[in-house]
Every structure is written in structure tokens, then in C-alpha cells.
Structure 1
Amino acid sequence: MADTVAPMITDSVTQVNTKILGDAPAQAMATLYQTAAATSGIALQNAVHAQNNQYALNNAATTEGVNLLYTSPTAAAAAASTKIDAGFEGIMARLDGLILNARTIGGRQ
């Protein structure tokens, strides 16, 4: 025995299904745009954090350099000058290592 459905009910269900299927692409694009915006925000936060770290490294290098200048005697002999140069080279080597690590962590090489 066949059950018949009123044409108005069939039409109503068809209209709802058509609306849902028609809205799906717009909903998908909205989700995509929201995700892209959130990702861009996080990337900018990471860039600011990396810039702050670089600023701290620059301050440390400047402070260490000035400290070396203030702690060395004014009438230093050639041995003291060599010691300062060696200290500066050590600082630069450490900074190079820190910058390389920061770039590796940040994804740039």
C-alpha cells in the first residue's frame, strides 16, 4: 500500500534542502576567511615577539661592548687590546649563534 505525501509537504522539504545546499558554499568561504584572518593575526604576533627578542639581543651586545670599553684601562698595552679584540670576537660568535637559532626557530634560514 503506497503512502502518498501532500505536494505542499514535498515542496516545503525541497525548498529547505535547496536553501541548505545553496548556503553551504558561502558558509565554507566564511569559515575559510575567518581561519585565514586568525592565522594572519598569530603570524603577526610571532613577528612582534621575534622583533622583541632581537631588540633584547642588540641591547645585550651593546651593553657588553660598553662594559668592555669601561673596564679596560685607558693606557692599555697591546696585550689588553688583543684581549678586548678576542672578547669582541667571542661576543660576535655568540651573537651569530643566537641569531642563527632565532632564525631556525622562526623558520627563516
Structure 2
Amino acid sequence: MAETLVNPMVTDAVTQSNVKVVGEAPAMAISTLYQAMAHSTGILFENAVAAAQQQNILAQAASNMGVMQIYSLDTTAVAGASEKVAQTGVSDNLSSLMTVLSAFQGGR
């Protein structure tokens, strides 16, 4: 094989170029990694905001449905039902007891 002489300036330029590429490789890799992490973190926060908005919408809808149910009930039916549930018909019980007592006293 015949030896060909290469200008030392050319070999020096190629060597410097190779050294530059090898020296910059770790920095480029880390910068790519940081960029990917920043993008992932941005998507994470976007999803968190979207989830919070959906939760607020659901809470407002549930509150609205509760208020609509409260306003749609008949007031006398609600009073009677709450009296039965809470067993707070004390005044009705006392008045009926007075009626029964007065009936017995009048019959003597």
C-alpha cells in the first residue's frame, strides 16, 4: 500500500473537530434529558389543572342537583316526613292528650 501524505493542518482540523464532538456529547445528552423532563412536567401540570377543573364542575353540578331536589319537594310533605323521622310532634301529641283528657273529664 502506498503511503499518501496528508497535510498536517488537515489532520489537526479533523482531530480538533472529533475532540469537540466528543467533548460536547455529555452536555448535549443532559440538555436533551432536561428538555424531555421539562416537557413531561408541563404535561403533568396541565393534567392536574384539567382534573381540578373537572372536579369543580362535578361539585357544582352535585350542589345544583341537591338544591333542585330541595326546592322540588312539597313543603307539607317534607314537614310531615321530617316530623316522622325526627319524632318531634310533641305539640300534636300534647293537644291530642288534652282532647282525650277533656273527653274523660266531661264524661264523669
TM-score normalised by structure 1 residue count: 0.68
RMSD between aligned residues = 1.8
User: Could you tell me which residue of structure 2 aligns to residue 21 of structure 1?
Assistant: 22
- Secondary structure (helix, strand or coil) at the match of 1:2 reads coil
- Secondary structure (helix, strand or coil) at the match of 1:75 reads helix
Aligned partners of 1:36 and 1:44: how far apart in 2?
A: 12
User: Could you tell me which residue of structure 1 aligns to residue 5 of structure 2?
Assistant: 4
Aligned partners of 2:62 and 2:13: how far apart in 1?
A: 73
User: Could you tell me which residue of structure 2 aligns to residue 52 of structure 1?
Assistant: 53
* Residue correspondence of structure 1 range 55-74 to structure 2 within 5 A: 55-74=56-75
Please give the per-residue CA displacement for 1:71-99, whole angstroms capped at 9, x wherever unaligned: 10111143xx99xxxxxxxxxxxxxxxxx
Equivalenced residues, count: 81
Aligned partners of 1:22 and 1:69: how far apart in 2?
A: 72
User: Could you tell me which residue of structure 2 aligns to residue 93 of structure 1?
Assistant: none
> Which portions of structure 1, spanning 4 or more consecutive aligned residues, are displaced by more than 3 angstroms?
none
Higher relative contact order (CA 8 A, sep 6+): 1
Deviation at 1:6, TM superposition (A): 1.8
User: Could you tell me which residue of structure 2 aligns to residue 103 of structure 1?
Assistant: none
Deviation at 1:16, TM superposition (A): 0.5
Aligned partners of 2:13 and 2:57: how far apart in 1?
A: 66
Q: Which has the larger radius of gyration?
A: 2
- Secondary structure (helix, strand or coil) at the match of 1:38 reads helix
Unaligned runs of 5+ in 1: 83-109
Deviation at 1:7, TM superposition (A): 1.8
Deviation at 1:39, TM superposition (A): 0.9
User: Could you tell me which residue of structure 1 aligns to residue 98 of structure 2?
Assistant: none
Unaligned runs of 5+ in 2: 86-108
- Secondary structure (helix, strand or coil) at the match of 2:76 reads coil
